[in-house]
Amino acid sequence: MVIGTRAQYVSEEDALKFVAGYCVVNDVSERACQFEMGSQWDKGKGFDTFGPVGPFLVTRDEIFDVQDLDLYLELNGKRMQTGNTANMVFTVAQIVSYVSRFMTLEPGDIITTGTPPGVGMGRTPQRFLKKGDKLRLGIAGLGEQQAEVVAFPK
């Protein structure tokens, strides 16, 4: 979700009024840095080119029900993740309300919410991205992204 209006201590009932709209974000993780260097999630998610946003912002009024959007990720043409926002642990309204209690949300701030089941680390056997892998991911009504994995700099 992308914040449209400054939000501090907003109620769950009013939370969606502070959302400008929604977009696709590719929640990329570099697991070696994430776990081998102290197990902090942010270290595995903050590299250059990670977390691409887009292809565009869909305004709040264009989405009938943000808690009923299908999402998917394909790796090299094979479906790896399928989900629906109805299965989110917390609703968008709950997330905006909760986060606004701990930090002021400003217009343009993006809150990402994670990924559907099927991540490579949770598979047996585990499957991690490698150079040349092609990703295609999207959310119904919000668009689609495509990316090719490049070598991780040492």
**pLDDT tens digits for 6-51?**
999 999 999 999 999 999 999 776 656 666 666 555 555 666 667 7
What is the chain's mean pLDDT, rounded? 88
CA nearest 27: which of 3, 1, 53, 2?
53
Q: pLDDT at residue 74 above 80?
A: yes
- pLDDT, mean of residues 58-84: 96
How much is the pTM?
Answer: 0.86
Helix (H) or strand (E) holding 151: none
Whole-number Å distance between alpha carbons of 57 and 101: 25
pLDDT category of residue 111 using cuts at 50, 70 and 90: very high
